Structure 1
Amino acid sequence: MADKKVNIELSNDEAIVLFEFLGRFNEKDNSSRFEDQSEQKILWDIECILEKELSEPFRADYQDIVKKAREAVRDEKE
């Protein structure tokens, strides 16, 4: 079972929003929120995977990109 992979598809906007969230979340001590350190490790790993895939975090206008991505992903208010 260890060789089985699960793929998750994200739009670029979703990936940017998730990367930004994980960056903030992983900077803080959230160890009390986890039942096991493996849960924390997975979030670190996902952040690293996204960092390798995204070029936007290295752009000067990254904060504008994040803002636009959040707007694109957010549920519309009724």
Structure 2
Amino acid sequence: MSKDVQITLSEDEAWVLFELTRRFSNTDKLSIENQAEERALWNLCCVFEKTLHQASDIDYKEFISKCRDRLLDE
């Protein structure tokens, strides 16, 4: 079972990322429509880099594959 992770976003980041994911959900096309979306994704990546920690001696590709498998619909 995966652990919970909490991250903090500004309200503006949250709204811009919400709109980006809503648009993707409705169209199945992931595209950046303006620089604010790109900035929000960069900021989110930085938050993940500060928040997520894994052992340095793991096979990263295998680790990500297992994470993806756990998220698949049954």
* Aligned CA-pair RMSD: 2.7
Structure 1 unmatched runs, 5+: 9-32
- TM-score for the superposition, normalised by structure 1: 0.48
Matches within 5 A, 1:7-18: none
Q: Which one has more relative contact order, counting CA pairs under 8 Å at least 6 apart?
A: 1
Alpha-carbon distance change, 5 to 39 in structure 1, aligned in 2, over 3 angstroms: closer
From 48, 51, 56, the counterpart of 1:50: 48
Q: Is the 8 A contact 1:34 1:40 kept in 2?
A: yes
Equivalent pairs counted in the alignment come to: 48
Give the superposition deviation at 1:5. Answer: 4.5
Structure 1 runs (4+) greater than 3 angstroms displaced: 57-60
The CA distance in 2 between the partners of 1:49 and 1:36, in whole Å, is 21
Structure 2 unmatched runs, 5+: 1-9, 15-30
Give the superposition deviation at 1:34. Answer: 2.4
- TM-score for the superposition, normalised by structure 2: 0.51
Alpha-carbon distance change, 34 to 5 in structure 1, aligned in 2, over 3 angstroms: closer
The CA distance in 2 between the partners of 1:59 and 1:37, in whole Å, is 36
